[in-house]
Chains A and B, each alone.
Chain A
């Protein structure tokens, strides 16, 4: 089973790399979905099936779909690809890669110095997760629900356009 971990990890890394390099946004989106699916497999191998299921349903299923909807609404088209090509000059890479490399380096150093440990290999049942959620982490759950409510209201309010604005922009938006 460990081999599955490594394969899925490789897929995830490659897909993520493709996401950030891709000129076409829709293609990047799809690559990201693949990355999330690979992540779900990793979660399963690590003994967290519930998390794996949630990853697929919520992350790849809901959040990415949101992205797709927005892209459809924006409807940028071929001009966007040209624009991206224009933006992504070779020199752009240097700074971000440098910074990230340093960050990565620090963490690798930390991992290097830590004692070698392994996961327990046990499968954590959803029942256990549910018991924790309704037990010690009850408050966190309530807070998360508040957060979601706030996000809901905020997104609704921001997404709404008034009559005047629509007229100004010549009927764009909703």
Chain B
């Protein structure tokens, strides 16, 4: 059964190929069948393979063929299955399938229907390649593939130039990260001689002492790549603008899968980070800063999807925080729960936006609780899970685990824990702000149109998963079901025993975190339902307005990058408009043209001139003969 592994990315790739070649000529039902079906088959195969794997949890490699064969460098098209990649593969395939099903109805009236499914299938294929690759070059192929599809799908409605700009911004910012990653790959290859991941990790441990320059450089560069793809500081500016794409795209790419590619990369190459402690600390610090930054920004957004975008940045910050403190499986656990509840939030937000005729401003919405019950309950469940309200949802277990492991990590631990806690408060406030403003209160805009089963089924399934998905990893003080981390231990190092063993401090910290989450809900309730006027008054003050604007624009990063990077570049481009570097080559042409004109002027057509020329020439010749 395990040898079905290469088929998992192959089916979406086939779907893409068919849809690409037929380019919209197929009837709609066929497109749906191919587009959704290919990912469905992929999800089914992922389930089968995962079951087979769980029966005998050994890492399994399948090489399909040799990609490049140059002396000393032979990367393969190879797939590697262990607990980490298996879990990622399963989550990616399954969530992708649900979102494809949702898209079949959501995008049914769009004229780019075929193109949409082609791109989505290509994306799923690339993402599966990314998580299943057995060498870093093949992973980089998948990495670039998801970046390409992200660009294509953000700018899906290409007729509006704003979408194109957003797509371009996403691509360029992630490109910065990708370049850093490429350089990191070069360093790894030139020093360790291979890019196959498992041998690479062994070589690194054998040849590089802990804390020396090379692993720090390599780890830092790979981190750069991860920062770009996962939209963390300082490369986080592209994700809020990426909401210009269709909502299922935002759900799939910018919530559940692509932005977690960075997390996967760091988890996969965790050996390097163990060899480079300063970089690992940096990962944690970046995670903490990003989650705070994004939390404040999410609080001030008025566009429903932008709130969720900043929320994604913040939650991936939590994953980075976990990676930074060595809680590898906790990060992956949070990835899994986050995939469920964030996809759920985006999909229900998509229903709201579409039913209200593409209205994104939450302050123009209201009272949709009774009008759109399915969307309301889905969004509420997603919000509960995101805010990590105690016990009943999946988010609680994963976030709790991260906070506990952060606290236990040496000197920096308590600071990181505090940051995580403040972030949790902000999360609860901003998401319930959205809930209360959108679904409660008077109805401002009436929704139109029905919601079919293809939208309802994914929402229901994801709601269930968002509630129960956390029960695979229950902490010691509540029942001690470490199933998830036991599974992950075959691929990732476990945290020290002192952490996994139950302790009273863990219970206490957990209680504090739970209280904070509930407090956040209460604050949101008071501020946005009971006493909205109070908040308005606070915001209207000069500092309030300035702060609100500052946070709304993402702490001014866009402004900063515009001033520091974009404008000088455009200035240089403008100065080089006549391409003075090229003037050497055009100069040759200009020179020959001038010489031609000079020579042409010497051809007067007059015989006497020519005779004079002959005479002068003969004089010179004779002079040479005589005097030389």
CB distance B612 to A109 under 8 Å?
no
CB distance B626 to A99 under 8 Å?
no
CB distance A106 to B615 under 8 Å?
no
CB distance A95 to B612 under 8 Å?
yes
**Smallest distance from the beta carbon of B450 to chain A beta carbons, Å?**
90
Interface assignment of B619: CB less than 8 Å from any CB of chain A:
yes
- Residues on A with C-beta less than 8 A from B618 are 103
CB distance A103 to B612 under 8 Å?
no
CB distance B612 to A99 under 8 Å?
yes
Contact with B along A89-106 (1 / 0, CB 8 A): 000000110011011001
Complex Cα distance, B615 from A96, in Å, reads: 9
Interface assignment of A70: CB less than 8 Å from any CB of chain B:
no
**Smallest distance from the beta carbon of A102 to chain B beta carbons, Å?**
5
The contact of A99 among B616, B622, B623, by CB within 8 Å, is B616
CB distance B612 to A106 under 8 Å?
no
Complex Cα distance, B618 from A96, in Å, reads: 14
- Residues on B with C-beta less than 8 A from A106 are 619, 622-623, 626
Complex Cα distance, B615 from A155, in Å, reads: 28
Complex Cα distance, B623 from A96, in Å, reads: 18
Interface assignment of A110: CB less than 8 Å from any CB of chain B:
yes
CB distance B615 to A103 under 8 Å?
yes
CB distance B626 to A109 under 8 Å?
yes
- Residues on B with C-beta less than 8 A from A102 are 619
- Residues on B with C-beta less than 8 A from A100 are 615
Q: For residue B616, which residue of chain A has the nearest CB? A: A99
Complex Cα distance, B621 from A106, in Å, reads: 11
Contact with B along A9-52 (1 / 0, CB 8 A): 00000000000000000000000000000000000000000000
Q: For residue B615, which residue of chain A has the nearest CB? A: A99
- Residues on A with C-beta less than 8 A from B619 are 99, 102-103, 106
CB distance B622 to A96 under 8 Å?
no
- Residues on A with C-beta less than 8 A from B615 are 99-100, 103
**Smallest distance from the beta carbon of A107 to chain B beta carbons, Å?**
8
Binding site for A on B (CB under 8 A): 612, 615-616, 618-619, 622-623, 626
Query: Which 7 pairs between the two chains have the least Cβ-Cβ distance?
Result: A99-B615, A106-B622, A102-B619, A103-B619, A106-B626, A110-B626, A106-B623
Q: A99-B615, A109-B626 are in contact. List 9 more A-B contacts (CB 8 A).
A: A95-B612, A96-B612, A99-B612, A99-B616, A100-B615, A102-B619, A103-B618, A106-B619, A110-B626
Binding site for B on A (CB under 8 A): 95-96, 99-100, 102-103, 106, 109-110
Can you sample 6 A-B contacts with CB below 8 Å?
A99-B612, A99-B615, A99-B616, A102-B619, A103-B618, A103-B622
